[in-house]
Chain A
Amino acid sequence: MLGIVIDDSKAMRKILRKFLEGLDFSVLEAGNGREALEVLDSADSVPELALIDWNMPEMNGLEFVVEARKRPEWRNMTLVMVTTESEHSQIVRALASGAHEYVIKPFTKDGMIDKLALLGLVPVGVLS
């Protein structure tokens, strides 16, 4: 499977890349929403999963979600916000804008696996 990590923190991108690679994903990276649109437009295939930070320069995660949902060719890409934004109203807003799931930082590896399992994105054998 293919995933894209969209986060302006290089350290967080590295953590999420390593995590996804552990689940046998190939991983693309982008530092903000605008860059993610470019990376996706030039990619050979559409990722099954996008992990998206909220607060980023140029185009934030929520704006990216809105843009991504306008593109029918990306409809099978599961959009997961991964962010420190933790207010009830923000989660509602992200889901209403088209995000499929929401993970609040900090998260544990098990917590992230649980979320991806909900979305059917964890290979058989990883879950015990």
Chain B
Amino acid sequence: MELTGQQFGYVSDLLRREAAIVLSPGKEYLVESRLRPLARQTGHASIGELLNVAQSPNGAAVAVRKRIVESLTINETSWFRDREPFAALTDVVLPQILGESPTRPVRIWSAASSSGQEPYSIAIQLDKALPPGRDYQILATDLSTEMVARSSAGRYNQLEINRGLPAGDLVKYFQRAGADWQVSDKLRRKITFQQLNLSQPLPAMQPFDVVFLRNVLIYFSPETKRQILARIRKVLRPGGWLQLGAAETTVGIDAAFERVPVGRTAIYRASSANLLPVKEVTAC
């Protein structure tokens, strides 16, 4: 193993401080697998050398620390990942939203958008499911500025495209761009991309109908989970929906969310007890 206990401790502290993410012992392999390529890319001979620079008082240290945090918070992703959350969006959530208001744009926040497959998958789903003339807006945010730039560009290589994107959607929503594929302007102009740290107070936001916060809470301490869920509740419309990862829940963390089973998964709804009255709510 390349990483010493002291170095792992430093990275754990850095991640907790900068991103409120808890890196438990036993995750040394993860740190090594993410930092080794970063060390190479940034011209350092080893992970140790990279971490020495990160801890040094010189000006480059801030940028190196930022890159370390980013490299450890990026997740591999695919199109329509896990499928059920997207089916729940179409089958359960959209009919409810459309019933509540026949005109206003549907607003969705993809709160850990990584390299962009999730917000673009949502856009594809909405483009197909919404009635003609019904508009939608998506906010896609990520901790990593590098990931925000990548998703905003909307350009994917062949291996990325093969990861779960139906061929019919590929030909409908993408064009060839050299050896890569480019997301169509029709989808891109519906999505706003920006960098955002979920462990910090949120900027002012228009309310959302749905927040996708998948495979994010698992990284945080119970207290930070509570804070994040409370912030998200404030930017959800009354009766708005929260989509978490399969291994995540609000149960035992935030009683203001109600768990609504959908097929083999569940979606969470901000309960009316803590919110303004919800118009035309039907049982799901």
Interface centre among B78, B159, B167, B176 (most CB of A within 10 A): B167
Write the chain A residue with the least CB distance to B81.
A114
Residues of chain B within 8 A (CB-CB) of A88 are 171, 174-176
Could you tell me which residues of chain B, from 235 to 263, have a CB within 8 Å of some CB in chain A? none
Could you tell me which residues of chain A, from 19 to 61, have a CB within 8 Å of some CB in chain B? none
Write the chain B residue with the least CB distance to A93.
B171
Write the chain B residue with the least CB distance to A100.
B167
Write the chain A residue with the least CB distance to B175.
A88
**Which of A92, A112, A117 sits near B83, CB closer than 8 Å?**
A117
CA distance A116 to B103 in the complex (A): 38
CB contacts between A and B, total, < 8 Å: 50
Could you tell me which residues of chain B, from 48 to 63, have a CB within 8 Å of some CB in chain A? none
Could you tell me which residues of chain B, from 132 to 186, have a CB within 8 Å of some CB in chain A? 158-159, 161-164, 166-168, 170-171, 174-176
Residue pair B162, A115 in contact (C-beta under 8 Å): yes
CA distance A21 to B15 in the complex (A): 42
**Which of A87, A101, A106 sits near B167, CB closer than 8 Å?**
A101
Residues of chain B within 8 A (CB-CB) of A101 are 166-167
Say how far B119's CB is from chain A's closest CB, in angstroms. 18
CA distance A104 to B87 in the complex (A): 26
Is A121's CB within 8 Å of the partner chain B?
A: no
Residue pair A106, B159 in contact (C-beta under 8 Å): yes
Given contacts A88-B176, A117-B83, contact A106 B158 (CB under 8 A): yes
CA distance A101 to B168 in the complex (A): 8
Residue pair B162, A111 in contact (C-beta under 8 Å): yes
Is A77's CB within 8 Å of the partner chain B?
A: no
Residue pair A104, B176 in contact (C-beta under 8 Å): no
Given contacts A88-B175, A88-B176, A114-B78, contact A102 B167 (CB under 8 A): yes
Residue pair A104, B164 in contact (C-beta under 8 Å): no
Write the chain A residue with the least CB distance to B79.
A114
Residue pair B162, A91 in contact (C-beta under 8 Å): no
CA distance A72 to B220 in the complex (A): 54
Given contacts A86-B158, A87-B176, A114-B78, contact A95 B164 (CB under 8 A): no
Residue pair A91, B171 in contact (C-beta under 8 Å): yes
Is A73's CB within 8 Å of the partner chain B?
A: no
Residues of chain B within 8 A (CB-CB) of A87 are 176
Residues of chain B within 8 A (CB-CB) of A107 are 159, 162
Write the chain A residue with the least CB distance to B161.
A104
Residues of chain B within 8 A (CB-CB) of A94 are 167
Given contacts A87-B176, A88-B171, A92-B171, contact A118 B164 (CB under 8 A): yes
Other CB < 8 Å A-B pairs besides A88-B174, A95-B167, 20 of them?
A: A86-B176, A88-B175, A91-B167, A92-B171, A101-B166, A102-B167, A104-B158, A104-B162, A107-B162, A110-B78, A111-B159, A111-B162, A112-B162, A114-B79, A114-B163, A114-B164, A117-B83, A118-B80, A118-B83, A118-B166
- Which residues of B approach A to under 8 Å, CB–CB? 78-80, 83, 158-159, 161-164, 166-168, 170-171, 174-176
Q: Can you list 11 residue pairs at the A/B interface with Cβ under 8 Å? A: A86-B176, A88-B171, A88-B176, A95-B171, A101-B167, A110-B78, A114-B79, A114-B164, A115-B164, A117-B83, A118-B80
Which 8 pairs across A and B sit closest by C-beta, in order of nearness?
A: A111-B162, A114-B164, A102-B167, A92-B171, A107-B162, A114-B163, A91-B171, A111-B163
